[in-house]
Structure 1
Amino acid sequence: MAGWNPEAKESAEKQDKENIGVAEVIANFKNSDPGMQVFFDKAQGYAIFPTVGKGAIGIGGAFGRGEVYEQENLVGKATLTQVTVGFQLGGQAYSEIIFFKDKAAIDRFKKGRFELGAQVSAVAVTAGVSADAAYNNGVAIFTITKGGLMYEAAVGGQKFSYTPIGQVKKESKPAPVEDKSN
């Protein structure tokens, strides 16, 4: 079988699984607040972390893996890490999206010059909340809880790493997910 490469098939299947998770998270954000569509439509790009796990007993930490899209094309992978100190207790899982307003903002992220300071907070997505949300220093951050209970849920102190994956065709955009709310 000339030209057959089992590794390419395995890689494509893995990519499809990751995109399916991303598509589901995007649908969850949009179903929770239809106004989120404006951010997807107008942003230069976004980083999406389908699951961020966070836990703490005094000292806390968080970790998540995600994908980075620019003009709706998958351009890279990212990791999110966070270490926090202070009064905090519990554990939770949540999804996070960071929208980049313009090319300068997403370029800062891709060059590793992006870190969320202690004063930065995210908007917890509920119906209508996106109408009042605004960009701060070229970024807007939204989270949606997946489960768990934790006293302290700040995104400040998050650090990110970015790994480009090269030029990706338009087809790598997350597949649309049917609206199951009806």
Structure 2
Amino acid sequence: MKKWLALCAGGLLLSFQVAADQYQTTIEQFQRSPSTADFFDNAYGYAVFPTIGKGGIGLGGAYGEGQVYSGGRPTGSVNMIQISLGFQLGGQAFSQIIFLQDKRAYDAFTAGSFEFGAQASAVALTFGTSAQAGSTGTGAALGKQQSKANYVGGFAVFTLAKGGLMYEASIAGQKFNFKAD
């Protein structure tokens, strides 16, 4: 019985370490991107999602679990649910980070339940390229000539593709549920 309890406790500790490593690895990936480096230096906080799974055939959805940070320290957990409608087929996995520009944006995001409507924009970062579309206009860059992403309403959203194949022209909304530590 004692061995079984020790084994369970050890497994639980290892799972927490693996989860913490996933967050740190994802944060480091975003820190290496020239498009996000300034955001880490100037944001009040951020929410990081190591893996979000997404799929759809006409009607789509996505889900991921993450952690919210302020001052470089975790302040709580968050999950993201997305529903989309439009021309879409396939599935993919990606990492996402949402920078919170100031205390007002942080408080709005961590109030318990927060939603991005169809007007939210995201910058997709892959192999030195970036593209942006949203209410602030569109832009794309390759190599060293990166487009400058900006906050929209106090938020800046970036994604890193992890894998999969998905064709999509849809409208989506994301809902975030925050729980303080």
Name the TM-score class by shorter chain.
0.7 to 0.9
Deviation at 1:59, TM superposition (A): 0.8
1:116 lines up with 2:116 in the alignment: yes
Q: Distance in 2 between matches of 1:45 and 1:155?
A: 27
Contact 1:125 1:143 in 2 (8 A): yes
Aligned to 2:75: 75
Contact 1:92 1:148 in 2 (8 A): yes
- Measure the CA separation in 1 of the matches of 2:11 and 2:117: 39
User: Aligned partners of 2:21 and 2:63: how far apart in 1?
Assistant: 20
Identity of aligned residues (%): 46
Of 121-130 and 136-145, deviating more is: 121-130
Matches within 5 A, 1:61-72: 61-72=61-72
5 Å-filtered alignment, 1:26-105, equals 26-31=27-32, 33-105=33-105
Tell me the residue number matched to 1:138.
Answer: 154
Distance of aligned partners of 1:153 and 1:106 in 2 relative to their CA distance in 1, 3 Å threshold: farther
Q: Residues 36 and 62 of structure 1: is their aligned pair in 2 closer, same or farther, counting only changes over 3 Å?
A: same
**Contact kept? 2:99, 2:155, Cα under 8 Å:** yes
Structure 2: which amino acid aligns with 1:133? Answer: A
Deviations 1:62-93 (A, max 9, x none): 00000110111110000000111221111000
Distance 1:124 1:153, change over 3 A: farther
Aligned length: 160
Q: Is the 8 A contact 2:80 2:175 kept in 1?
A: yes
SS, match of residue 40 in structure 1: helix
Q: TM-score w.r.t. structure 1 length?
A: 0.78
Contact between 1:92 and 1:149, CA under 8 Å: does it hold in 2?
yes
Distance 1:155 1:58, change over 3 A: closer
**Deviates further, 121-130 or 79-88:** 121-130
AA aligned opposite 2:122: A
**How far did residue 146 of structure 1 move?**
0.2
Structure 2 gaps of 5+ residues are: 131-145
Could you tell me which amino acid in structure 2 is paired with residue 17 of structure 1?
Answer: V
1:14 is displaced (CA, Å) by 3.3
Deviation at 1:151, TM superposition (A): 1.2
Contact preservation (8 Å) 2:83, 2:172: no
1:120 maps to a residue whose letter is A
1:99 counterpart letter in structure 2: F
**Aligned alpha-carbon RMSD (Å):** 2.3
Q: CA deviation at 1:109?
A: 1.0
Structure 2 distance, partners of 1:18, 1:154, is: 32
Write the letter of the residue equivalent to 2:125. Answer: V
- Contact kept in structure 2, 1:55 and 1:91, CA below 8 Å: yes
Other-structure match for 1:19:
20
Higher share of residues assigned strand: 2
